[in-house]
Structure 1
Amino acid sequence: MPSSRPNKTLAELQRWRRTRSRRRWYKRSFRLQVMLLVGLLLAGMLLAQGTYLNHRKAEIISSQMGERALAVAKTVASMPELIDAFDADDPASVIQPLAERVRRETGARYVVVGNNQSVRYSHPVPERIGLTMVGGDNARALEGGESYVSEATGTLGSAMRGKTPVRDEAGNIIGIVSVGFMLDRVAMDIARYNSLGWTLVALMIVLGFAGAYWLSQHLKRVILGLEPYEIARLAMEKEAILQSIHEGILAVNREGQITLVNQQARWFLGLADEHILLGQPIREVVPNSRLQEVLKYGQQEFDQQMWLGDHPVVVNRVPIIHEGEIEGAVATFRSRREIVDLSQALTQASRDVDMLRAQAHEFSNKLYTISGLLQLERIDEALTLIHQETKRAQAQMNFLMRHVADTVLSGTLMGKLTRARELGVMLEIDEQSSLGCPLTPTGQEVMMSVVGNLLDNACHAALHGPSDPPRVRLFFTDLGEQLLIEVEDNGPGVPTDHAESIFSEGFSTKAGQHQGLGLALVARLCRQHGGTVTLEDGELGGACFIAVLNRSLCAADTGTSSSVLS
């Protein structure tokens, strides 16, 4: 059953998503956003890269065509028969066939040879032989003797030309060779090569959008079909829950580093909110957390007692397991003091019920006795019993009214007197006892706990002591700057070797479970309210406990104090 709860919660969340009001899906769909963002980003990168690469490819092809034209021109210019032809009576008759043969073999659009006056000796169109070369880009070769690549428009159109001078054996420039490849052909070659590149870019864009769609589907499954705003809301809700619960929570990853800590855990550790804990090794922050052992062995531990900072706590430790692997561990802490306080409150309520039951039983017995005396017509004896009981109860009531200004404490003492009488213990309240000022609400709770626990322990000790009858004496006063409570009994006393540990939580000389809480609670209350509790030898032969509390537990003096002490 516990394992089905997360699936049920997830199903409820998904059902809520399907039935929620429709909104602008193209703005809210995480899957579409991821697909568009990743796809457009990838498309932009591919287009930019394709543009750059194709531009570089065009430059390289153009450069290669120019270098090819220049290489052909240099080859033609260095041919001996061509150089010798310049001295012939009709150079064109020798150079024209030679140039055309080279043009056909190299695939050039034209191979034009001219003299140092730019007059053609060869041309693909024979009618143009003997005319001046067109383009105006021969000066660098004829005047400077350079070999270079240029772009110019000639009689056949715009072309990329390789030009080089023709030199005789003495090194003199006697002519020029111009080899050209038409720019439209270069553009066609560039387009042919670039078309493959753009086809690959388009294919990669299509694959990129397909991958983006798959990625969006995968991410959607990973985040359990939730939209980003839903994840943000759940994260805020989780954070609010973690910080508001009353238990301290610590979580670590598989390396033992803290990944989560809430406010209550910080309070247990005594750390401020700005103190950085995330990422810290758990061994350095809480050496006794035992989360490393949970990570190592994967064993759950429940209701273990330990100290977290200065606080006794009850801790649960569980591993975080995903697909059979331990991914981390979580520890939750509950204050043991709060548990003790709750147990003490329940115990006190149970005691109050027992006292009321005992009081009802006692008065029921007396009423039966009076009823029997009346039925036997022994009226004088019945009246005497009534007067005795009234006198005793009135004496106790008058004493408490005169010496105790706080009605809650008076009621507590009346209940303890009745309970002690039911147990067969003589509970005496010293005649010098007095509480002249009412108590604050906190003071009432503290006094009830301190007086109640000390009297209960004293009655228990007296019942198991060697003396008969069992006796307990109570003294209290608010004279001076502090409240003083003294309780002694005629029980066996406290062994010397237990004197130091008797106020420790969990230590008890009584048999059974849930013992060792009363005196520890008394000691803690005394420390919290500016006092202390000590153990001495009593005049009755048993133990004597003296508790001291700060007078701030008393309310401001009123007319009640004077009426009580008068």
Structure 2
Amino acid sequence: MTNPRPLAELQRFRRARAKRRWYRRSFRLQVMLLVGLLLAGMLLAQGTYLNHRKADIISHQMGERALAVAKTVAGMPQIVSAFDTPDPSMIIQPLAERVRLETGARYVVVGNAQSIRYSHPVPERLGEAMVGGDNDQALIYGQSYVSKATGTLGTAMRGKTPIWDEEGNIIGVVSVGFMMDRVEMDVARYTNLGWALVALMIVLGFAGAYWLSQHLKRVILGLEPYEIARLAMEKEAILQSIHEGILAVNRDGHITLVNQQARRFLNLPDEHVLLGQPIQEVVPNTRLLEVLRHGEQEFDQQMWLGDHPAVVNRVPILHDGEIEGAVATFRSRREIIDLSQALTQASRDVDMLRAQAHEFSNKLYTISGLLQLKRVEEALALIHHETERAQKQMSFLMRHVADTVLSGTLLGKLTRARELGVAMEIDEQSSLACPLTATGQEVMMSVVGNLLDNACHAALNGPNGDSPKVRLFLTDLGEQLLVEVEDNGPGVPEAHAESIFQEGFSTKTGKHCGIGLSLVARLCRQHGGAVTLEESELGGACFIAVLDRSLCAAP
């Protein structure tokens, strides 16, 4: 039987999770409420302040208006002269009432020095004392002022001023009042428009907040904030964990992203130091700027990054047809190259051993035949000759070529040439006094190896095929490395002089042709040099490869 308690807890958990999900997914509602409430609060605060100030101004203006009417009445000659008559109210009452009706005041009261009324909107109250107790400033001190007091007609905004006779004596007071309910009505009439505008602006603010939330939702591709945060964390984890190096730049060529593998691969400083730096200063031989200019994708391009061979992909970042930046991904070819070098070296060793075995087996058969024929002296002479020749080659390479890897390559090529029947010689003026870096060894083996292989093939297929010759000259004197390989083959037709360095182009027949010279040209360009074609003194082609001296190790 199922326990109901865990089931109820599970249901509560699901309901709470659903509520959290609704809250987390209501980004549009959150933006609309946040912006709308913030705008409404600001508008309400501003509207309250402005309407309060407007009410104060209207009240002040009403008081000033009452005071102006009072001063006008107090200055009327008829009012002043009426105080000398036996019944001043007979003259003052009609004048005061006319002024009250014309100005819209609630009352215009004129009193004598004892605050006895000579005019009042209610005739029955004539002759009675004025109510409010605020006449002293006018009657005693002769001041004109605005006050708020409650009289027989109610609370009013009053303007009071004294009445002076011709000798400058205070003989009475004028009090003009506007009822506070009317003042409040006037205030409400003027402030209602302000509140209506505030309400309209709040409605428009919520409408704008709704549009803004819609727009932000489209901009972030319909994602919620927590989804964006999760994607950002996932992206960062992926970028830092993948084996390939990644570099991204903006449209100005400044670095915007670099992952851990790229920094380790290029031996770069901390990521925060790199961000915002021009890519040309960090990776001088990058082609990301060309990708930014032309917007063309480049895949599986080989290049050297420092001392590391790499395969690079470069693609532009496009948005609405505009180039916003570019991304380069690269992976090291070191492991593949190390394996390829090992296999190549093993293949060379096998070829060299096979050639030596073939050559020395013939020599051994010859020596065996000479011994059987009892020609010992001739057999010894042959042995001494072969030994001297081998030692001479080894001694020359040891004296003139400081790099052992390149020496081994040249020795293998000499042996291979002898097997093919090609007379290969190394110019006696050749010299490589400095050992090579790991990159330099690889580059020189590729350049020298491909040039010698092509020269041997050309010499064997030339007009002097019965006596093929190949000559090698190399030197590191000066600021560059120079490699010169010439043969007595048929040469290169003038029509093919430019296209012979293009990948895939070859004058040979068969598969896997058109790679060697294009590889040599690319390596020379990548390392500050070039390869050129000239006519050889031997009658065939002469290839001159120039490389930067930085491939040599420091002495």
Show the counterpart of 2:176: 179
Match status 1:420 vs 2:373: no
Change (3 A) 1:326 1:497: farther
Which of 209, 214, 228 matches 1:217? 214
Give, as a single letter, the amino acid of the residue that structure 2 aligns with 1:252: V
**In structure 2, how many angstroms separate the alpha carbons of the residues matched to 1:291 and 1:285?**
12
Alignment CA distance shift 1:310-1:51 (3 Å): farther
Q: CA deviation at 1:275?
A: 5.1
**Deviations along 1:508-531, whole A, 9 cap, x unmatched?**
2334647999xx9xxxxxxxxxxx
User: Quick one: structure 1 residues 504 and 27, their matched pair in 2 at CA, closer, same or farther if it must change by over 3 Å?
Assistant: closer
Per-residue CA shift, 1:276-330, capped at 9, x if unaligned? 1222233333343343333233233344454445544443332222112221222
Question: Would the alpha carbon gap of residues 24 and 299 (structure 1) be closer, same or farther in structure 2, given more than 3 Å must change?
Answer: closer
Partner SS for 2:418: coil
Deviation (angstroms), 1:111:
0.7
Q: 1:343 to 1:106 in 2, by over 3 A?
A: farther
**3-state SS of the aligned residue for 2:193?**
helix
Q: For residues 22 and 461 of structure 1, what CA distance do their matches in structure 2 show?
A: 81
Alignment of 1:139-154 (within 5 A): 139-154=136-151
Contact kept, 8 Å, 1:315 with 1:332, in 2: the verdict is: yes
Q: Which residue of 1 aligns with 2:449?
A: 509
Q: What CA distance in whole angstroms lies between the structure 2 residues aligned with 1:332 and 1:316?
A: 5
> Distance between the aligned counterparts of 1:233 and 1:426, measured in 2?
71
Say which is worse superposed, 457-466 or 328-337, in terms of deviation: 457-466
CA contact (8 A) 1:249 1:333 kept: yes
Once the two structures are overlaid, the 10-residue window that deviates more, 334-343 or 495-504, is: 495-504
2:192 is the counterpart of 1:167:
no
Q: Deviations over 1:162-189 (max 9, x none)?
A: 1111112233222111111111111122
Q: Write the distance in 2 (CA, Å) between the matches of 1:287 and 1:141.
A: 92
Which of 58, 71, 74 is 1:74 aligned to?
Answer: 71
The residue identity in structure 2 corresponding to 1:503 is Q
- What residue is the counterpart of 2:224 in the other structure? 227
Q: Quick check: 1:157 aligned with 2:154?
A: yes
Secondary structure in 1 aligned to 2:141?
coil
**CA contact under 8 A between 1:466 and 1:491: conserved in structure 2?**
no
In structure 2, the gaps of 5 or more residues are 1-16, 362-402, 455-512, 524-555
- Quote the Cα distance in structure 1 between the aligned partners of 2:253 and 2:352: 58
Query: Is the partner of 2:30 in helix, strand or coil?
Result: helix
Q: Is it true that 1:99 corresponds to 2:102 in the alignment? A: no
SS of residue paired to 2:146: strand
| One-letter code aligned to 1:250 | L
Deviation at 1:50, TM superposition (A): 1.4
Specify the code of the residue in structure 2 equivalent to 1:424. Answer: H
The counterpart of 1:461, out of the listed 414, 424, 429, is: 414
2 CA distance for matches of 1:494 and 1:315?
39
Does residue 67 of structure 2 align to residue 114 of structure 1? no
String of CA shifts for 1:525-554, please: whole Å, max 9, x gaps: xxxxxxxxxxxxxxxxxxxxxxxxxxxxxx
Q: 1:123 to 1:230 in 2, by over 3 A?
A: same
| 2:34 aligned with 1:44 | no
Moved more, 228-237 or 313-322: 313-322
Distance (Å, rounded) in 2 between the aligned partners of 1:184 and 1:258: 71
Alignment partners' CA distance in 1, 2:19 and 2:339: 50
Q: Following superposition of structure 1 onto structure 2, how do residues 17-32 of structure 1 map, counting pairs within 5 Å?
A: 23-32=20-29
Bigger drift between 233-242 and 192-201 goes to 192-201
Q: Give identity over the alignment, percent.
A: 70
Unaligned runs of 5+ in 1: 1-19, 356-414, 428-449, 471-489, 521-566
- Once residues 307 and 75 of structure 2 are traced to their aligned partners in structure 1, the CA distance between those partners, rounded to angstroms, is 100
Q: Which residue of 2 aligns with 1:53?
A: 50
Q: CA deviation at 1:68?
A: 1.0
Q: Cα–Cα, structure 1 residues 267 and 425, in superposed 2: closer, same or farther, change >3 Å?
A: farther
Superposition map of 1:108-507 within 5 A: 108-273=105-270, 276-344=273-341, 351=347, 416=350, 420=354, 424=358, 458-465=411-418, 492-493=425-426, 497=430, 499=432, 503-505=441-443, 506-507=446-447
Question: Partner residue of 1:484?
Answer: none
Inter-CA distance 167–220: structure 2 relative to 1 (3 Å threshold): same
Deviation at 1:63, TM superposition (A): 1.2
Report the AA paired with residue 447 of structure 2.
F
**Quick one: distance in 1 between partners of 2:354 and 2:162?**
134
Task: Go from structure 1 to structure 2 and tell me whether the alpha carbon gap of 1:156 and 1:494 turns closer, same or farther (over 3 Å shift).
Answer: farther
Alpha-carbon displacement from aligned partner over 1:105-163 (angstroms, at most 9, x marks no partner): 11111111111221111111111111111112112222222211111111111111111
How large is the Cα RMSD of the aligned pairs? 3.5
Q: 1:420 to 1:64 in 2, by over 3 A?
A: same
1:496 Cα deviation after fit: 5.1
Aligned CA distance change for structure 1 residues 170 and 301 (closer, same or farther; 3 Å)? farther
Contact 1:39–1:209, Cα closer than 8 Å, also in 2 = yes
CA contact (8 A) 1:35 1:212 kept: yes
Q: Are the aligned partners of 2:248 and 2:328 in contact in 1 as well (CA < 8 Å)? A: yes
Q: Distance in 2 between matches of 1:454 and 1:280?
A: 43
Q: 1:325 to 1:27 in 2, by over 3 A?
A: closer
CA contact (8 A) 2:359 2:419 kept: no
Instruction: State the TM-score, normalizing by the size of structure 1.
Output: 0.62
- 1:342–1:96 distance in 2 versus 1, CA, 3 Å: farther
Letter of the structure 2 residue corresponding to residue 332 of structure 1: T
SS in structure 1 at match of 2:447? coil
Residues 1:107 and 1:514: Cα distance change in structure 2 (over 3 Å): same
* Structure 2: distance between partners of 1:286 and 1:270: 11
Question: Shift in Å at residue 98 of structure 1?
Answer: 0.7
Q: 1:250 to 1:125 in 2, by over 3 A?
A: same
SS in 2 for 1:464: helix
